[in-house]
Amino acid sequence: MILKKEHELLRKTVRDFVKREMAVYPDEVDKTGKIPKDVIDKLAKYKFTSSIIPREYGGAGADYVSYAIIMEEISRRCASTGTYITAASSLVALPLVNFGTPEQKEKYLRPLAEGKYIGCFGLTEPGAGSDAGAGQTIAVDKGDYYELSGRKCFITNAPICDFAIISAMTDKSKGTKGISTFIVESKWEGFSVGAHEDKMGIRGTETSDIILDKVKVPKSNLLGSEGRGFKIMLNTLDYGRIGVAAQALGVAQGALDEAIKYTQERVQFNRPLAKFQNTQFTIADMATKVQAARLLVYDAAMKKDNGEVPGLESAMAKYYAAETANEVAYKALQLHGGYGFIKDYPIERIYRDARILSIYEGTSQVQQMVIAGNVIKKS
């Protein structure tokens, strides 16, 4: 895979940032359950959280290959920070970029790009999960405003957000065609969040429910037109999967790095583990799958940059990279033996972080459905 010189330069820049700013930081984030404010500010300063936001609104205006590079290199060191970035870059910024009015972009997208605002994406609900048509959050037209009531769950950045992109039913009788999307500010009356979830992995990202109790949302904060919410969500997730796939790739590469480092240092029977044939076979299998995931991820990113709609490719990349991250993290932990089960070694955290990658932004089973639907339709 050959990347442009500017992409290789960007990769070096991100790696230097990771080495300089994130040396011992992942373990601290895992313990405290939050990303330090100074790191959040630096991510915004270097436009890592706004790489795909257009320059006219304060972003870097970069392509999706650049976005994938940022996600891979950051997540290689810390999956929690990768989650924070992809939430800002794709889940929040993309619907504003693609469907927002000039006024909405100026009011919400610009401060998001500049690091003055933190946003979140409220889609998942307790009883609906991936079934968007089963959502119970409702938006009632009150003339001058909509009144939103309902509950969203597992929302990344909810406890620290300034605004949320919220899906709600404006006409439940129409199913998915009755879904609309709104920009809802956290300071408005009736907007509250639940307790910060005590998660297994990606503990550094602050996650909670969003509770909406008759929140008055101005008509000007309807994103797109009424009934277009389902399309907005699908569009956002199609492109957002590229970021999550790149995150999974980074986690897989990070696990491989730890396995190689440990097996070179650990001596058994007067030889480093890396000298044993069984270890070499395992490392070879891991490295091959990581590289295969990398090719899928960057293929999807390049297709997006070429003006294509990579629904199939992004689903394949997300599915394969997520499953690879889990497999490689497991094998890396096995190579560590008992030490892999101890928090003193990074692989313990990486193993826990990897689990979410097959779950959020569409489970692996959802990706398989998307892939099969595309492949069968074409045959």
What is the set of active-site residues? Answer: 361
Q: Which residues, in sequence order, are CB contacts of 45 under 8 Å at separation 6+?
A: 115
Q: Could you identify the residue written with the tokens 């709104």?
A: 182
* Beta-bridge partners for 210: 152, 193
Helices and strands per DSSP (H, E), number in the chain:
13, 10
Burial 78-96 (b: 16+ CB within 10 A, else e): bbbbbbbbbbbbbbbbbbb
Residue (of 61, 68, 62, 81) closest to 21 by Cα position: 81
In whole angstroms, give the CA distance from residue 215 to residue 367.
Answer: 34
In whole angstroms, give the CA distance from residue 317 to residue 132.
Answer: 22
* Beta-bridge partners for 151: 211
Q: Which amino acid is at 67?
A: Y
Instruction: Please report how the helices 229-265 and 346-354 are oriented relative to each other, as an axis angle in degrees rounded to 10.
Output: 150
